[in-house]
Amino acid sequence: AQRVTQPEKLLSVFKGAPVELKCNYSYSGSPELFWYVQYSRQRLQLLLRHISRESIKGFTADLNKGETSFHLKKPFAQEEDSAMYYCALTRAGGSRLTFGEGTQLTVNP
Amino acid sequence: GAGVSQSPSNKVTEKGKDVELRCDPISGHTALYWYRQSLGQGLEFLIYFQGNSAPDKSGLPSDRFSAERTGGSVSTLTIQRTQQEDSAVYLCASRVDRGEINSPLHFGNGTRLTVT
């Protein structure tokens, strides 16, 4: 079975501070991991995916198969990063995307 | 082009009534998903369509929930005899199915269902 765990429901940091949103998963096969973001009054949208190995809006995430983690990081948080972040998993070539419970990030001025 | 469109945006209904939620996916997107977003519950998978067929409907919480898709496009999620615990935001998403490459989901704005 696929399972995604985001241990922090709420995370608050100050502007300019580093931020890390934790994501752990359980899946026995070859997973594909994603981070989706929902800004206030906007629809849920893709932030980044591990196979692209890209940095979006200063965020990066590295898939650690040994620790089964896909933590989202940004060295210097900005107020506009305040949003709900969801980690999601699917199997390679699969169809069903399983989401975590989400982390509400607040970046204070 | 236009994104995923859902209607109505808000629905208030009395307990015991039936409701229908509609989703218009992005043109050309063969895969369509329904999720439920509840406070503190995250995003709960309900059902997935590939074309008009539903190879994975394992997330439907009870037999009061059903969904269909016609013409490989519009989908309707029906909830019969609504209960208060059905109150949530129902999200629809679609994506291009490229086989081994998992293209991203494009979400609609959702339908906020309130059962009184």
Q: How close is the nearest chain A Cα to the Cα of B40, in Å?
A: 7
**Dmax of chain B from CA atoms?**
44
Query: Which H/E stretch holds residue B13?
Result: strand B10-13
The helices-and-strands tally (H runs, E runs) of chain A is 0, 11
Tell whether B71 is within 8 A of chain A (Cβ): no
- Name chain A contacts of B4, Cβ cutoff 8 Å: 43
- The structural domains of chain B, with segments of one domain joined by +, span 5-115
Are A35 and A87 in contact by the 8 Å Cβ rule? The answer is: yes
C-alpha distance across the termini of chain A, in Å: 41
pLDDT band at B41 (very low <50, low <70, confident <90, very high): confident
Q: Which residue of B has its CA nearest to A2?
A: B45
- Tokens representing residue A8 in the block: 């922090």
State the alpha helices, DSSP H only, in chain B: none
Count the domains in chain A. 1
Give the per-residue pLDDT at B75.
97
- Name chain A contacts of B33, Cβ cutoff 8 Å: 97
How far is A44 from A53, CA to CA, in rounded Å? 21
How far is A5 from A22, CA to CA, in rounded Å? 8
The domain spanning residue A77 has which CATH number? 2.60.40.10
Q: What are the pLDDT digits (tens) for B47-81? A: 999 999 998 899 999 999 999 999 889 999 999 99
Q: Which residue of B has its CA nearest to A39?
A: B109
pLDDT band at B107 (very low <50, low <70, confident <90, very high): very high
Nearest Cβ partner for B42 among A49, A95, A102: A102
Q: Which amino acid is at A66?
A: G
Tell whether B104 is within 8 A of chain A (Cβ): yes
How far is B55 from B58, CA to CA, in rounded Å? 9
Nearest Cβ partner for A98 among B45, B106, B107: B45
- Name chain A contacts of B91, Cβ cutoff 8 Å: 44
Domain range holding A33? 3-108
Class level of CATH domain B5-115: mainly beta
- Tokens representing residue B96 in the block: 């291009």
Phi, psi of A52 (to 5 degrees): -85, -20
Q: How close is the nearest chain B Cα to the Cα of A16, in Å?
A: 28
Q: What are the pLDDT digits (tens) for B14-40? A: 999 999 999 999 998 999 999 999 877
Nearest Cβ partner for B31 among A43, A93, A95: A95
pLDDT band at A21 (very low <50, low <70, confident <90, very high): very high
Tell whether B109 is within 8 A of chain A (Cβ): yes
